[in-house]
Amino acid sequence: MTRSISIFGATGSIGQSTIDLIKRDQKSYNVVALTGGRNIEQLAKDAIDLNADVAVTSEENLLGALLAALAGSGVEVSAGRNAILEAADRPVDWSMSAIFGAAGLEPGLRALRHGTTLALANKESLVTAGDLLLGEAKKCGAKILPVDSEHSAIFQALIGEDIATVERIIITASGGAFRDWPLHRIATATPEQAATHPNWDMGQRITIDSASMFNKALEVIETKEFFGVHPSQIEVLVHPQSLVHALVGFNDGALMAHVGPPDMRHAIGFALHWPDRRKLPVDRLDLAAIGQLDFKAPEDSRYPALKLAQFVMERGGLAGSVFNAAKEKALDAFIERKIGFLDMTSLVEDVLNQLVSKDGLNKDAMTLDTVANADQMARKYGQELIAQGRYGSN
């Protein structure tokens, strides 16, 4: 039986790994929609190879280029944000939410309305609007499967278990590019240095977010939202080998660890075949050759972003949207060399303090509009702070 699928963010790192798995067993899938951004060549190639119904670029000015690249192929073509949402309205059995950032929220929400399965790589959806996303899934009878490696690991460790018996959840972090750098050097790190990951081969932005631990901060919030545990039950452990992805601690003292190669095709493949397990083209670990697994507590001074996650979880509501948007703004500014590496955390903290004060934005109920408004206000205020020259630069 073939399954109909769509991939949002098909040209990115997660999208390409998903396509790699699909191409290995193409007859089992009927590809409905593929969406991408500026990489028209890749999008067109995959749309032809997979015989997709429709290919969509988020960039309206690239419609002509996509039309030209797909001329005569029989693949429908469209462009722009609304076109992505329309693509998400096309019913499918399984969709992959792998757009980067807050832009992934709405396509994911639309895809949930089919009442089928949404594989969720876009952690920002849960961070910015967990209640909306989970509420929509419940209402529509859809299943959300986590694709972030740590959350897939937790999900797998919880199979057959009662969440009420969980005492704690530990997610691991590689420690990123600057794990072993002396602290004084980190302030002067460049985007190129931050975008080099010791273990995982990922997109540029998430790799920089790994070095700053903003990625882990998002993942801590994602854990709270997805599994419904209390923030005090979530721990982060630096684990340089990136082989143990997460551990779940139960009330009898048992720790169930998920161990696997650092290859996103495992978590993607698990979500693709769930509830079955199927053979996947990932390396098998030779633990004797690996020899040892190391763990240590993250130092606050090296990874200040982690404490911001605690603040965001305490505040709840729209704090997640402010946090994520401020983080995206800070990341852009760092990549554009307008602020330094450590300034990213200062900027996000300043935006949170301004917008998520005692009442602040958090008195508003969570809707798509208030989430988007919180996002815009955070970016705007972040921009103002950068323009004031408050932070150093490289």
Chain contacts with ligand NAD (rule: CB under 6 A): 9-15, 36-37, 58, 84, 98-100, 103-104, 121-124, 148, 200, 202-203, 205-206, 264
Query: Nearest approach, Cβ of 219 to ligand NAD (angstroms)?
Result: 8
Nearest approach in angstroms of CB 140 to ligand NAD is 22
Q: Which of residues 237 and 364 has its CB atom nearest to ligand NAD in the complex?
A: 237
Helix, strand, coil shares of the chain, percent, nearest 5, are 50, 15, 35
Residues 6+ apart with CB under 8 A from 280: 21, 265, 266, 269, 270
Nearest to 151 by CA among 175, 119, 198: 119
CB of 213 to ligand NAD, least distance (A): 13
148 touches Mg ion (CB under 5 A): yes
Pick between residue 44 and residue 246 the one whose CB is nearest to Mg ion. 246
Reduced to 3 states, what is the DSSP secondary structure of residue 31?
strand
Q: Which stretch binds Mg ion (CB under 5 A): 48-56, 100-108, 144-152, 293-301?
A: 144-152
Smallest separation, CB 66 to ligand NAD (Å): 12
3-state class of 59 per DSSP?
Answer: coil
Binding status of residue 343 toward Mg ion by CB under 5 A: no
224 by DSSP, 3-state: which? helix
Beta bridge partners of 144: 118
Q: State the minimum distance, in angstroms, from the CB of residue 148 to ligand NAD.
A: 4
Answer yes or no whether residue 124 interacts with Mg ion by CB under 5 A: no
* Residue 364 and residue 377 in contact, taking contact as beta carbons nearer than 8 Å: no
Classified as helix, coil or strand, 8 is strand
Q: Which does 217 bind (CB under 5 to 8 A by kind): ligand NAD, Mg ion, none?
A: none
- CB of 153 within 8 A of CB of 246? yes
Do 302 and 180 touch, CB atoms closer than 8 A?
A: no
CB closer to Mg ion out of 262 and 317: 262
Per CB under 5 A, the segment of 58-66, 141-149, 257-265, 318-326 that binds Mg ion is 141-149
Residue 230: CB minimum distance to ligand NAD, A: 24
Task: Tell me which of ligand NAD, Mg ion, none is bound by residue 77, counting a contact when its beta carbon lies within the kind-specific cut-off of 5 to 8 angstroms.
Answer: none
Report the distance separating Cα 36 and Cα 56, nearest Å.
6
